[in-house]
Amino acid sequence: MKPNPTILFGAGCFWGVQDTFDALPGVLKTEVGFASGHTQNPSYQEVCRGDTGHAEVVWVSYDPHQISLETLLETFWHCHDPSSLNRQGPDIGAQYRSCIYYTDPEQLESIESSKHLFEKSGKKVVTEIKPFSNFYKAEEYHQHYHKKACQSKR
């Protein structure tokens, strides 16, 4: 049996991005972490320094029978500003870059097609699109951060 496909999205601070993808039917699991850098097993504090090469990302595992890659990509393009280089809202630095790291070469055609479709809106996309190279899960307190914060207030 083939495992469920995965893809990694970076769109600023990973807390809100995780919330966005968790809300989609067909998304089976998400984890926040750091990807595509040169430092092994970085901490959040190290990534925030900006010298690890990593981006804050959300690892998304999905069921292609319930949600298409195209729907995930459309969600990605619209949940942040992919024309903003190394910045999303108040978050500034390369760790907040817009990025997609694909885990299957067959995903690239859909990624490029959706990027060109989004660019028809008049925005120049600066999103880094690369094959998956590495992922390090962030500390447990970052996983589903907003959900935990809301529960602790009850």
Choose, from 13, 48, 79, 99, the residue flagged as catalytic: 13
CA atoms within 13 A on the CB side of 136: 17
In three-state secondary structure terms, 100 is strand
Active site residue 13: yes
Q: How far is CA 138 from the centre of its chain?
A: 13
| β-pair partners for 137 | 33
Give per-residue burial for 82-117: e unless 16+ CB within 10 Å, then b: bebebebeeeeebbbbbbbbbbeeebeebbeebbee
| Distance, CA of 78 to CA of 115 (rounded, Å) | 11
| Distance, CA of 100 to CA of 43 (rounded, Å) | 21
Place of tokens 């496909």: 5
Active site residues: 13
